Amino acid sequence: MLVIVVENVPLRLRGRLAVWLIEIRAGVYVGRVSRKVRDMLWDTVTKGADSGNAVMAWSINNESGFDFVTWGPNRREPVEAFGLKLVSFLPDVGKDEAEDTEENGLLNGAQDNAPPEYGG
């Protein structure tokens, strides 16, 4: 089983994916293809996604039963831990939040519940 999810990609890429896979929701494609076709599809996605993003997951014989790859800007980042591939969420820091964070010293390692520092 193969699943590809794309966001903010050109319509021409979505059309190419629909030739090989079934689009069960907008931007969500599923199917059963060979490894060679899977690699060809991922190459097509990475070359045609422009400024969008994508994830591809497929069945494999390992502890979790699947593997996945990602491409493009996204808050979710794959990480390896104890031989498993997991997903880490990056902070969603907008411009206003970044200014607040800098003012509170959170970018310098301070925490919200940290005791105040005393000089002397």
Average confidence (pLDDT) over 113-118: 49
Mean pLDDT of 14-29: 97
Beta partners for residue 23, in sequence order: 29
Domain count for the chain, please give it.
1
The pLDDT of 74-91, averaged and rounded, is 79
- Residue 35 in any domain: the answer is yes
In a domain, 43, yes or no: yes
Quick one: pLDDT band at residue 120, thresholds 50, 70, 90? very low
Instruction: Label residue 85 by pLDDT band (50, 70, 90).
Output: confident
Domain-embedded: residue 83? yes
The CATH number that applies at residue 72 is 3.30.70.240
Top pLDDT among 27 and 97 is at: 27
* 62 in any annotated domain: yes
Predicted confidence (pLDDT) at residue 10 exceeds the cutoff of 70: yes
| Region for residue 65 given its phi and psi (left: phi exceeds 0; alpha: psi -120 to 50; beta: otherwise) | left
Q: What is the pLDDT of residue 74?
A: 79
Q: What is the pTM of this model?
A: 0.71
Domain presence at residue 46: yes
> What pLDDT digit, counting tens, does each position of 88-110 carry?
878 876 655 545 544 444 444 44
Enclosing domain of residue 25: 2-90
Distance of CA 88 to the CA centre of its chain: 9
Q: What value does the mean pLDDT take over residues 19-30? A: 97
The CA distance from 68 to 87, in Å, is 10
